[in-house]
Amino acid sequence: WDFLILFFCLPVVIFNEITKKRLLGDMSCRIVPFMEVSSLGVTTFSLCALGIDRFHAATSPQASTRPIEQCQSIIAKLAVIWVGSMTLSVPEILLWQLAQDTSPVSGGVTEYCTMKPSSNLPESIYSLVLTYQNARMWWYFGCYFCLPILFTVSCQLVTRRIRGTDKKSECRGTKHSQCEGHLNCTIIALTIIYGLCTTPENVCNIVVAYMSPDMSKQTLDLLNLINQFFLFFKCSVTPVLLLCLCRPLGQAFMDCCCCCCEGCGPDTTSSESSADSKLKTEMSSSIFFDKPRETPPPLLALGTPC
């Protein structure tokens, strides 16, 4: 979702700031806020799901022998997170619309997005959208800021408390403990980045809600641009942070890039290198799961037609 934000929303915002014309017109005024709010929801619920996973890993009586989670289960969780985030962001599509204004400096017509429900909506939907607009500031602050931070902090404190009082923690393998600590550091780093990047937006929302009559349109546009800049910064930093902190994910990403650049050759050297990198990735992939690999998987025979 971060890549979708960067590849779709960022060009639209830059084009609007340069030309004062809205790319794709009224559609972009509705789609861009929808995708940005959905991005906040995806990050929020993903952090909550990761916190629950770390809590289960700490409270499991046999954490070191838990089976590896099936791919279907992971896909189902991701589907719930994405569909839930997009569903909660549907009011943004009905809330924004395109407006035009004449610039006092150049005299040209400028296009901008305004938060105003369309009067053509049915009465019941119109009232719901107005209710959402009135509660939007506190909904942002409570769901997309307080919830992931408090959830992550609570899960980390409970996890540390359980591990500190658990006498059986010494029986766990050293590699397993390192993997658990690495995962916890990754989640904490993601939460810190998310909190730092969403704090300006929540502060601006509160300021605008109580001081918007006394603020000029240029100031409001500048605050909105700052909020979007921090959102784009979060979307840019999060994938890099994951690739740097999660070694198996970074190694797999580098292997894919090398395979795409160099091509897959039939020579033995590349096959041996691919097999070695695959072995290292499989041996280190236990960082994603609670079950460490006791022995490395056997190497496949090389030089076969496959």
- Among 89, 192, 201, 84, smallest CA distance to 137 is for 201
Q: For residue 31, which phi and psi values (nearest 5 degrees)? A: -75, -40
- Among 149, 151, 169, smallest CA distance to 161 is for 169
Residue 194 within any structural domain of the chain = yes
Residue 223 within any structural domain of the chain = yes
Q: Assess contact for 12 and 24: CB atoms under 8 A.
A: yes
Domain carrying residue 139 = 1-60+70-166+176-260
Residue that the structure tokens 């020579």 belong to = 267
Residue 29 CA to residue 33 CA, distance in Å, equals 7
**Which two structure tokens, joined as six digits, stand for 165?**
């009082």
Residue 280 within any structural domain of the chain = no
pLDDT attached to residue 82: 93
Residue 242 CA to residue 54 CA, distance in Å, equals 17
Residue 266 CA to residue 280 CA, distance in Å, equals 21
pLDDT attached to residue 106: 66
What is the mean pLDDT of each successive set of 10 residues along the chain, which is 306 residues long? Answer: 87 85 83 91 90 78 64 89 93 85 70 81 87 88 90 84 60 61 81 89 81 72 84 88 77 77 50 50 46 50 48
Residue 112 CA to residue 139 CA, distance in Å, equals 24
CA atoms within 13 A on the CB side of 24: 11
Residue 29 CA to residue 178 CA, distance in Å, equals 46
pLDDT attached to residue 271: 47
pLDDT attached to residue 292: 47
Residue 242 CA to residue 271 CA, distance in Å, equals 28
Report the number of distinct structural domains present in the chain. 1
Strand, coil or helix: what is 191?
A: helix
Q: Assess contact for 235 and 2: CB atoms under 8 A.
A: yes
Residue 283 within any structural domain of the chain = no
Residue 233 within any structural domain of the chain = yes
pLDDT attached to residue 102: 74
CATH code of 11's domain = 1.20.1070.10
Residue 102 CA to residue 46 CA, distance in Å, equals 43
pLDDT attached to residue 289: 44
Q: For residue 290, which phi and psi values (nearest 5 degrees)? A: -95, 0
